[in-house]
């Protein structure tokens, strides 16, 4: 396995007040030791309303965690009531932002074209987009999962320069595994992650493909993370439910270390 530092990202979704957010970050930080941070990048993705508090805590206590956002506007500023822009998030010190999460695609009707614009917006202000792709159960049962995810990948990265693609983190998140407790088998996750890497390799060369981090997401827990992350093309996890529990989340980080 080429040296790609694993990344464990906690997607808190629409959970936790800013006070609860601080308490969770403190517990996670307390559970991890220097050797874990040396071996794994750990990031949390709070709701917008908690980012400022998380920033103050992490900066003030010099914690070795980073943080990011779950969404951003494709626009930099202007008359877009209720939206939050990339420059606002970058100014708050956000390192990462997820784009193309299945919940955004489903509940906000986000198209591949919009996902692509959001991804570009993130790159423009220096944040690392985590581009999420993944198939629903019907596509998986029809055996079209690899093709489906490869299409989402190429649409998401459409028109990007090589330098830009080099900044992107990918996440394979089968929709049937998200929040269901039905984790993909390590072999199923590996199949798609490997296909994503070879698609990158074909388009942008083996060096770029070998540097790119590809995460798996979907019911990852401390007790299944080790087997998943042992797969050659899995470089970390995007964690939903289990990221709200400090012990579980830290357990996943330790399994990745």
Q: Pick between residue 86 and residue 240 the one whose CB is nearest to ligand PEP.
A: 240
Could you say which residues in the range 9-38 bind ligand PEP, by CB under 6 A?
11
Residue 235 tokens, joined: 């470089």
Residue closer to ligand PEP (CB basis): 87 or 100: 100
**Which residue among 10, 74, 218, 236 contacts ligand PEP (CB under 6 A)?**
218
Task: Looking at residues 116 to 175 of the shown chain, list those that interact with ligand PEP (rule: CB under 6 A).
Answer: 173
Cα-Cα-Cα-Cα torsion 239, 244, 250, 255, nearest 10 degrees, comes to -30
Can 113 be counted among the known catalytic residues? no
CB of residue 99 to ligand PEP, shortest distance in Å:
12
Query: CA–CA separation, 217 vs 239, rounded Å?
Result: 6
List Cβ neighbours of 91 (8 Å cut-off, separation of 6 or more): none
In the annotated binding site, the residues are 11-13, 179, 219, 240-241
Alpha helices in the chain (DSSP H): 18-31, 34-39, 48-60, 86-91, 102-107, 112-124, 137-141, 145-156, 162-165, 186-204, 206-211, 222-229, 246-256
Q: What is the rounded distance in angstroms from the CA atom of residue 133 to the CA atom of residue 150? A: 8
CB of 129 to ligand PEP, least distance (A): 14
Name the binding residues for substrate. 11-13, 179, 219, 240-241
**Please, which residue, 68 or 217, has the CB nearer to ligand PEP?**
217
Using CB under 6 A as the binding rule, the residues of this chain from 228 to 247 that contact ligand PEP are 238-242
Interface with ligand PEP includes 43 (CB under 6 A)?
Answer: no
> Binding to ligand PEP by residue 178, rule CB under 6 A?
yes
Biggest CA pair distance of the chain = 51
What is the nearest approach in angstroms of ligand PEP to the Cβ of residue 101? 6
Pair of tokens at residue 219: 């019911």
Angle at 256 between CA 176 and CA 31, to 5 degrees: 105
Applying CB under 6 A, does 217 fall inside the site for ligand PEP?
Answer: yes
Is residue 19 classed exposed, middle or buried when 0-12, 13-18 and 19+ CB atoms within 10 A define those classes?
exposed
User: Is 248 noted as a catalytic residue in this protein?
Assistant: no
Residue nearer to ligand PEP on the CB measure, 168 or 209: 168
Residues 101, 145, 148, 248: which is the catalytic one?
101
Q: Which is nearer to ligand PEP, 66 or 102 (CB)?
A: 102
SS3 (DSSP) at 45: strand
Please give the positions annotated as active site: 101, 173
Summarize as ranges the residues that interact with ligand PEP (CB under 6 A).
11, 173, 178-179, 217-220, 238-242
């Amino acid at each position: 396995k080429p040296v790609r530092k694993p990344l464990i990202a906690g997607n808190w979704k629409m959970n936790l007040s800013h006070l609860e957010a601080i308490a969770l970050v403190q517990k996670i930080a307390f559970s991890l030791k220097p050797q874990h941070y040396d071996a794994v990048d750990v990031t949390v993705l709070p709701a917008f309303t908690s980012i400022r508090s998380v920033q103050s805590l992490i900066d003030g206590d010099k914690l070795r965690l980073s943080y990011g956002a779950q969404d951003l506007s494709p626009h930099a500023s202007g008359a877009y009531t209720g939206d939050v822009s990339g420059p606002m998030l970058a100014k708050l010190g956000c390192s990462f932002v997820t784009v193309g999460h299945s919940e955004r695609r489903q509940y906000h009707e986000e198209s591949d074209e919009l996902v692509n614009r959001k991804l570009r917006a993130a790159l423009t202000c220096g944040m690392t987009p985590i581009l999420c792709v993944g198939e629903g159960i019907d596509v998986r049962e029809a055996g079209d999962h690899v093709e489906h995810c490869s299409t989402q990948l190429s649409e998401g990265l459409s028109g990007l320069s090589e330098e830009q693609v080099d900044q992107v983190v990918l996440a394979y998140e089968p929709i049937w595994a998200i929040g269901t407790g039905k984790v993909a088998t390590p072999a199923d996750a590996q199949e798609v992650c490997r296909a994503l890497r070879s698609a990158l390799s074909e388009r942008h060369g083996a060096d770029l493909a070998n540097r790119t981090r590809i995460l798996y997401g979907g019911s990852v827990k401390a007790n299944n993370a080790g087997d998943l992350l042992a797969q050659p093309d899995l470089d970390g996890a995007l964690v939903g439910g289990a990221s709200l529990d400090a012990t579980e989340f830290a357990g996943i980080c330790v399994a990745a270390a």
